[in-house]
């Protein structure tokens, strides 16, 4: 079940660069609707309203892993393990993001389908593996949020910055890329990018 983001957008109204007020949805202006949901709304005009499919409020169980590293080999091993686990996590209903550099990265996922106990059980082996790697300073936690707003308020609404790029739900890598039998190679390539996103 998608819990936020483009899968829940039903309609967007926008003032285009030529001054027209346009409605875009799955039936009208389909190409613009597709572009607005994935290509940056500000690129195509000024969005004046969005209609979302809503869902009943639900709890979210989350897992957070934050790593400072002085050992590139340990970072690579840990990130390889995260990539190896990703298809299983997605099948269990977890979604989220991660990113950073080989010296500092974060991994944060949550699920509306898992209890706090299930999340602890799922992530305990990953957390233990992270702590076992030399040169890594690891912070980890699992948290139960009563609803989406509690999560958003805790992590996104208090820094006061404007224009900070944050994707709070996305899947930019196709499943067949992540589910490859070569997670070590994917980890190596992603870690070459300073400020990588996952």
Domains of the chain, start order: 6-52 (no CATH), 60-197 (3.30.70.100)
Q: Residue 170 above 60 pLDDT?
A: no
Which residue has better confidence, 159 or 38?
38
Which residue has better confidence, 176 or 12?
12
pLDDT band at 42 (very low <50, low <70, confident <90, very high): low
Most confident of 1-5, 145-149, 155-159: 145-149
Q: Which two tokens mark 187?
A: 């980890």
Dmax over CA atoms of the chain, in Å, equals: 59
pLDDT band at 3 (very low <50, low <70, confident <90, very high): very low
Arithmetic mean of pLDDT, 19-31? 94
Q: Which of 129, 128, 78, 140 is nearest to 103 (CA)?
A: 78
Predicted model pTM: 0.68
CA 14 to CA 58: how far, in whole Å? 31
Residues in the chain: 198
pLDDT band at 159 (very low <50, low <70, confident <90, very high): low
3-state secondary structure the chain: CCCCCHHHEEEEEEEECCCCEEEEECCCCHHHHHHHHHCCHHHHEEEEEEEECCCCCCCEEEEEEEEEECCHHHHHHHHHHHHHHHHHHHHCCCEEEEEECCCEEEEEEEECCCCHHHHHHHHHHHHHHHHHCCCEEEEEEEEEECCHHHHHHHHCCCCCCCCCCCCCCCCCCCHHHHCCCCHHHHHHHHHCCCCEEC
Arithmetic mean of pLDDT, 60-64? 92
- 95-134 confidence digits (pLDDT tens): 888 888 889 988 889 998 789 999 999 999 999 999 999 9
**Residue for token digits 């912070």?**
139
Q: Residue 71 above 60 pLDDT?
A: yes
Task: Tell me what pLDDT residue 198 has.
Answer: 67
pLDDT band at 6 (very low <50, low <70, confident <90, very high): low
Which residue has better confidence, 185 or 175?
185
pLDDT band at 36 (very low <50, low <70, confident <90, very high): confident
**How does the average pLDDT of the chain come out, rounded?**
83
Which residue has better confidence, 178 or 85?
85
Arithmetic mean of pLDDT, 51-79? 91
């Amino acid at each position: 079940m998608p819990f936020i983001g483009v899968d829940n957008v039903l309609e967007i109204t926008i003032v285009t660069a030529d001054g027209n007020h346009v409605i875009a949805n799955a039936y009208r202006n389909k190409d613009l609707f597709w572009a607005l949901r994935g290509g940056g709304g500000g690129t195509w005009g000024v969005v004046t309203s969005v209609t979302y499919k809503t869902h009943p409020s639900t709890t979210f169980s989350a897992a957070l892993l934050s790593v400072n590293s002085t050992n590139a080999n340990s970072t690579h091993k840990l990130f390889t393990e995260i990539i190896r686990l990703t298809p299983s996590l997605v099948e269990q209903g977890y979604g989220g993001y991660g990113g950073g550099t080989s010296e500092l990265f974060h991994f944060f996922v949550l699920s509306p389908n898992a209890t706090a106990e299930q999340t602890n059980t799922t992530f305990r082996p990953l957390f233990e593996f992270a702590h076992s790697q030399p040169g890594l300073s690891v912070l980890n936690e699992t948290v139960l949020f009563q609803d989406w707003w509690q999560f958003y308020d805790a992590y996104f609404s208090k820094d006061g910055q404007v224009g900070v790029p944050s994707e709070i739900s996305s899947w930019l890598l196709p499943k067949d890329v992540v589910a490859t039998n070569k997670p070590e190679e994917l980890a190596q390539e992603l870690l070459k990018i300073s400020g990588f996103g996952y």
